[in-house]
Amino acid sequence: MEEILDQPSFYQEENEPIEYAGFWTRTGAALIDMLVMTPAALLLYYTMMYLKYLPLVLFVTILQMLYKPYMESVYGATIGKMAMRIRVLEHSGRTIDLTQSIIRNLPWIISALANLITIYLVFHSPDFAKSETFMSIAYLMRDYKIPLVSNMMGLIFIISAIMVGVRKNHEGLHDLWARTIVVCE
């Protein structure tokens, strides 16, 4: 494992320096992406609280889950990464394909799938129809949450963030297993 972590991650042309995107730049991109996804989150909140319409909730949740893999495979960056002027690339310097992007975003996808299962179970709970407050729905979500998946994905997120902060090329765990790098444009 140690030799994998110490390998250079980008094979570049001579005299062409690569500037890897650091922790704070990537954090800024993630925060911008959160703002981009805020309308979807508000739609989910409204639908769960007032409309209680499962198909719309599932549709919006799936769209949120596909946002990063789609954007990174088609454009090389999410809107947040574009705003921060960074791109996700293969080690060879090419834009990643959809398969690589799915592998790279697997922890987020697994977390979203666990959330989809939780939402489905909450909607079918006898207490859901009677829930009128955000906290009552939050308690139901907590009761149906899949703790092992949530805890494992949370641990992967933390390890990946630490790795981005301390590694020379700022590669997170998700970058290593997808063989990707994040560079400044």
CA angle 87, 155, 18 (to 5 degrees): 25
CA 181 to chain centre: 16
Residue 126 domain-assigned (yes or no): yes
Q: Has residue 44 been placed in a domain?
A: yes
Q: What is the pLDDT of residue 150?
A: 81
Token pair for residue 155?
């641990």
Convert the pLDDT of each residue in 112-162 to its tens digit.
999 999 999 999 999 998 998 989 999 999 988 888 888 899 899 999 999
User: Three-class SS of residue 102?
Assistant: helix
Domain tally for the chain?
1
Average pLDDT over residues 10-33: 84
Task: Considering only residues 147 and 24, tell me which one the structure prediction assigns the higher pLDDT.
Answer: 24
Residue 2 placed within a domain: no
pLDDT at 6: 43
pLDDT higher than threshold 70 for residue 4? no
Alpha helix segments (H runs only) across the chain: 2-6, 23-36, 38-46, 54-74, 79-83, 98-104, 106-123, 134-144, 147-166, 173-178
Q: What is the pLDDT of residue 39?
A: 96
What's the rounded Cα separation, in Å, for the pair 101 and 95?
10
pLDDT tens string 70-115: 999 999 999 999 999 999 999 989 999 999 999 999 999 999 999 9
Structural domain of 75: 19-184
- On whether the CB atoms of residues 29 and 179 are closer than 8 A, the answer is no
